[in-house]
Amino acid sequence: MHFGSLPASLRCSCVVLLVLGAVGLTTLPARAQDAKDSSLPTIAEKTEGMTKMDGYVPVYWDATTGKLWLEISRFDTEMLYVSSLPTGLGSNPVGLDRGQLGTQRVVRFERTGPTVLLVTPNLDYRAASDNAYERTAVREAFAPGVLQGFEVAAEGPEGHVLVDATDFVVRDAHGVVRRLKNTGQGAYSLAEGRSAPVLEHVKAFPQNTELEARLTFTTDGDPGAYVERTAAAPRALTLRVRHSLVELPDTTGYTPRRFDPRSGLFYTDYMDFATPIGKSMTKRLVNRHRLTCAEAPGADGLCPPEEPIVYYLDPGTPEPVRSALLDGARWWAEAFEAAGLEDAYRVEVLPDSADAMDVRYNVIQWVHRRTRGWSYGASVTDPRTGEILKGHVTLGSQRVRQDYLLAEGLLAPYQGARADGFPPGDDPMLEMALARIRQLSAHEVGHTLGLAHNFAASVNDRASVMDYPAPLARVEGDSISLKEAYDTGVERWDVKALQYAYARPGPNQTEAALLDSLVRAAEREGLRYVTDADARPAGAAHPKGNLWDNGRNMVDALDREMRVREVALDRFGEAVVKRGEPLAHMEEVLVPLYLR
């Protein structure tokens, strides 16, 4: 070794190290580490008197100190980390909703001496190569992250360690402070003295561990108007944040499916630097649930799955909305059968023993806010493959009431014998509102099955529940008809898109040939597809992609809407308000009618 270019101090250090090595003392650091580790208590000693919840990552609860401890045994093993918001603020403009999913990352625990790091690799950039050096070159080119550091407090057999996870759990992992600030609600901060783990929601199962905390956010300034209207204590609002550590599925049992921009599906993408020059480095994988045939297809061509996809409806949903949501969500069973899968999909009410935020359950939640607002379908997805692990639908409860108001304005129904209202079995406004909520249930579940919006479906005679439909109203004489205001069932485009995600190749057919045939079949049938990006922005001008429209010709549709509006406004008056209600209610009915 050449030392000439090194400072004298470093040259001395190097010589000392070489001498130590020559006399067999190179293991000194390891011996020092052993001595340090031997001073640690065992896990059994440290956790004496604590409550243990055994599972994927075992949890200990120390009631004396109010601390949560994790027993870590899986080092350098990738798992999924998901944060979520089990309870909400109740404000649509702020957007901190009950059941809202947050960030999801692949993570692993790594130990360095007395420290355990929770590391997240950078999966946006990869190298699908057999060359380990090529994979390393990409991995070292893009920064990973360390989400949390833990100090080893005890050690058990086989390298297990115990760490204090309280600070990890009691933190603003969902970005509540940032959200409140960005929506103009004030400068809040986490009040640690008013925040703590929620023991009843700390659970450990063989494939996942669920950790949860009650977090209080305080401000010395004036709270924003939305917080003032919804929080019990606007200057000290409290939410719950969930942390889920989930076993990743075995990728050998799942085949990622390539995305086609004509398929109408969501996808997971990354850059592959091992791609041959001249081909696209961006790889896109369809987001879909895992469905594996339990046996060969029967004479009818259908195969039963090893595990069907099951969705669970929030038991807090009242009737008649509950039945309507179940009906709409169940429409997808027909599409799965068309994809060659028998009894592959069903919808039930969430059992009392289940937790809606548990990643093992696909859930349809009925979410309340002060005002009407968005419904949406979100998913927990394996970022390595695009496999959907949990579908989570949020349905805003005020939507059905808004549709009822809209129908009241169109029909002006409270006249004569009906001035006092309608019985539930003979209520045309309720009938329209429930028809809409069925369609909405199917729409949002469709997102969590992998389907994106299709804003051109209306030009194909309502070919998809993934469009945004306006209620189809028609002028009949001097009144308005709402017969067939909304379609029922999944339609032709939905079946094609779901087949692209879930259908299996036939005998002597490659998957590439199957996918190409499905796309071409949709084209032959004249089924059009227009994305959000081409239809939603204010500057979008696609002639076939419009939101809240009906029919092939947009000029004709506008004429029809203006005629409906004209007739309804001519009839507008006391007949839109039930006898006994304040006439001021007319304003609430007028707004959706006037704006249409």
Q: What number of other Cβ atoms are within 10 A of residue 588's Cβ?
A: 15
Same domain, 375 and 456: yes
**pLDDT of res. 595:** 87
The residues, any chain, with a CB within 8 Å of residue 197's CB and separated by 6 or more, are: 61, 66, 68, 166, 169, 170, 211, 212, 213, 214
Residue 584 lies in a domain: yes
pLDDT at 296: 86
pLDDT in tens, 540-560: 878 888 888 899 888 899 999
- Identify whether residues 50 and 182 lie together within a single domain: yes
pLDDT of residue 298: 83
Does residue 255 form part of some domain? Answer: no
Q: Are residues 174 and 299 in the same domain?
A: no
Tell me: do 207 and 295 sit in the same domain.
no
Q: What is the pLDDT of residues 86-101, one digit of tens each?
A: 999 999 999 999 999 9
pTM comes to 0.91
**Into how many domains does the chain fold?**
2
In a domain, 171, yes or no: yes
Residue 120 phi/psi, 5-degree rounding, is -115, 120
- Judge if 453 and 585 occupy the same domain: yes
3-state secondary structure 89-115: CCCCCCCCCCCEEEEEEEEEEEEECCE
Stretches in the chain below the pLDDT threshold 50: 1-36
Domain membership of residue 373 (yes or no) is yes
DSSP string, 455-482: TTGGGGSS--TTS-PPP--EEETTEEE-
Q: Domain check: are 305 and 403 in the same one?
A: yes
531 in the same domain as 391? yes
pLDDT tens string 449-507: 999 999 999 999 999 999 998 899 999 999 999 999 999 999 999 999 999 999 999 98
Three-class DSSP labels, 120-160? ECCCCEECCCCCHHHHHHHHCCCCCEEEEEEEEEEECHHHC
Between the CA of residue 196 and those of 16, 217, 241, what are the distances in Å? Answer: 51, 12, 11
Looking at the fold, whether 214 and 345 belong to one and the same domain comes out as: no
CATH code of the domain in which 429 resides: 3.40.390.10
Tens of pLDDT, residue by residue over 163-175, are 999 999 999 999 9
12 domain residue, yes or no: no
User: Helix, strand, coil % (nearest 5) of the chain?
Assistant: 30, 25, 45
Domain that holds residue 132: 39-248
Q: Residue 540's pLDDT is what?
A: 81
pLDDT at 345: 98
| Residue 527 confidence (pLDDT) | 94
What is the rounded distance in angstroms from the CA atom of residue 586 to the CA atom of residue 575? Answer: 9
Specify if 362 maps to a domain.
yes
Q: Are 296 and 242 within one domain? A: no
Cis before 592 (ω within 30):
no
Same domain, 236 and 319: no
Determine the pLDDT at residue 22.
Answer: 39
